Amino acid sequence: MEKLSKQLLATLDDDHVRNIRWMEESPADVLVHSAEPPQGYTVPWHHHRRTQLLCIFSGVALIMTARGRWMVPPGHALFIPVGMEHSIEILSDVSMKSVYVTPRGQPPKDEAPRVVEVTDLARSLLLEAIRLREAPVGHRKAKLVLSLLVEEIATLPVRPLGLPFPSDRRLTALCRDYLANPSPNARLDDWAEKLSVSRRTFTRQFRKETGISFTTWRQQASVFACLPQLAEGQPVTNVALEAGYESVAAFTTMFRRMLGTSPRSYMASRWTFDRPSA
C-alpha cells in the first residue's frame, strides 16, 4: 500500500485525505469516488496502486505527468496508469468522479495516459456505481454495475486533448508562455531566435522533445488553451478572437479538425453532461 507523504497530507483538505486512505486501504478491485474541488485547488505529485479514470462532469482540470499535460473538459476523462506520478490543478470549479481499478480488476492494458470521451452509458453506470457505493459487500447489483462499468470504459473513444511538453527548461518556458497567450500565428523562426539556435536545429530539437512538429503542437495548444474559457460558457466568437484567430470560421476549422465537431456543438453537449440522471 502506498504511504502518504507529509507533503501530500499537508496540502490536501480533510475529505481528500480520507478518500486517499480509504482507497489505498480497501481490498476491493474496483472503487468509485465523487468530489467537487474549487477553482485553484491543487494536488501535488503522487501516485496510486490502482489505475485511475478521472472523469470531469463540469469544470476543467489540468493533469500533469512526466509524459505531458492533459486538459480534461466536461464529458471527458483521463486514464492515469497504476503507479504513474501525476499532479492536478483545478482550472475552474469542478465536479468529478473517479474509478480506481487494481490489476486484478482488469483495467485497460495501456501504460500511457490518455484522454477519452465518456459515453452516456459510462456516465450512467458511474453515477449508479456511486449511488451504490455504500451497498453491502457482495451486493449483486453493485457488482454487476461495476463489472459493466469496467468493460465500458475499456472501449471509450480517445480524444487528442493531451499536450506533450519538452524536458528542456528554456523550451518548456516558451511553451508555458504560449499557453498563457496563445496565437495561431506564432512563428517557428521567432522561437528559434529566442533560443539562439538555427531554424533547422530548433525543428529537430522540438520534434525530439515532444514527438510532434512545432506546427502541430502550436495548433493543438491553441485549442487546448481555449477549452477552459469555452467550458465557462464564454461566447465562441470572443474566445476565438482572443486566441488570435482572424475569424470564428478559422477557429472552428481547427477545432473541428482536432475534436471532430464545432465548438458550439461540442460545448453544448458538454454543458448538459452534468444533468441529473433520469
Kindly report the CATH number assigned to the domain that includes residue 52.
2.60.120.280
Chosen domain end from 93, 127, 159: 159
Residues 107, 154: one domain? yes
**Cα 271 off chain centre by:** 17
Query: What angle do helix axes 199-210 and 169-180 make, rounded to 10 degrees?
Result: 80
pLDDT at residue 107 in the model: 59
Residues 154, 239: one domain? no
Alpha helices, DSSP H only, in 211-276?
214-231, 236-242, 248-259, 263-271
Residues 193, 224: one domain? yes
Residues 11, 128: one domain? yes
Residues 43, 132: one domain? yes
| Residue 263 to residues 98, 114, 131, 149, 230, Cα–Cα distance (Å) | 26, 21, 32, 29, 8
Q: Alpha-carbon Rg of the chain, whole angstroms? A: 20
Asked whether residue 246 is domain-assigned, the answer is yes
Asked whether residue 1 is domain-assigned, the answer is no
Chosen domain end from 101, 124, 159: 159
Q: How far apart are CA 113 and CA 120, in angstroms?
A: 22
Asked whether residue 277 is domain-assigned, the answer is no
How many Cα atoms are found within 13 Å in the side-chain-facing hemisphere of 193? Answer: 5
pLDDT in tens, the chain (278 residues): 344 555 555 666 677 777 777 777 888 889 999 999 998 899 899 888 899 999 999 888 889 888 778 878 888 899 999 899 999 999 888 999 999 998 887 755 667 888 898 999 999 999 999 999 887 777 899 999 999 999 999 899 988 777 788 878 899 889 888 887 887 778 999 999 999 999 999 999 999 988 889 988 988 888 878 887 887 788 999 998 888 888 899 899 988 887 778 888 877 766 556 655 54
Chosen domain end from 141, 159, 177: 159
Range of the domain at 209: 165-271
Residues 183, 84: one domain? no
User: How much is the pTM?
Assistant: 0.74
Residues 68, 200: one domain? no
Asked whether residue 52 is domain-assigned, the answer is yes
| Residue 187 to residues 40, 93, 200, 229, 258, Cα–Cα distance (Å) | 32, 34, 14, 24, 21
Asked whether residue 227 is domain-assigned, the answer is yes
Number of domains in the chain: 2
